[in-house]
Amino acid sequence: MIPAPLQNIIDRLTVAWHERALALKAISFAFVGVVNTAIDFSIFWTAAKFLEWPLVPANVLAWIVAVSFSYVMNSFTTFGPESGGVLRWRDYLTFVASGVAGMVASTATLFVLSYMTPLLVAKLVSIAVSFVVNFSLSHFVVFKAKKPND
């Protein structure tokens, strides 16, 4: 048996999850982002450090793989109600197009900070910048709630 105060919290979270509150969407987006970040970072670090690629191409390759993973996972979880849990080429291309802003912000941040901080710090800050840009565009543009006549 779950104590009443804990059950109340669980019930409120369940209702909020079903209503897809913005904060919970951001948390879900962040969870997907944690895995996405590991993918992005692993590919970037391998290309930049082990394959000795220049920073920008290494970052772009990492972004392409990561944005594809992110679209699939967010379509099924974070924005599942909005997408209907269905993958569509048009939605994917819109997601990728909106993600270009995040990639540009991330790459610009990485490039500038790489002259002022260790590469690891520059990359981590660029990931945070990318999160803010990508979540905002995903929520307000790509997966915006559909109007009844849409």
Does residue 62 belong to any structural domain of this protein?
yes
Q: Rounded to whole angstroms, how far apart are CA atoms 38 and 134?
A: 16
Does residue 133 belong to any structural domain of this protein?
yes
pTM attached to this predicted model: 0.64
User: Residue 3's pLDDT band (boundaries 50, 70, 90)?
Assistant: confident
pLDDT tens per residue across span 20-29: 577 788 888 8
Does residue 45 belong to any structural domain of this protein?
yes
| Domain count along the chain | 1
pLDDT tens per residue across span 101-144: 888 999 999 999 999 999 999 999 998 898 888 888 888 888 87
Q: Rounded to whole angstroms, how far apart are CA atoms 107 and 84?
A: 32
CA quadruple 105, 111, 116, 118: dihedral, nearest 10: 100
pLDDT tens per residue across span 30-69: 899 889 889 999 999 999 999 999 999 998 899 889 989 9
What domain range is 66 assigned to?
Answer: 21-142
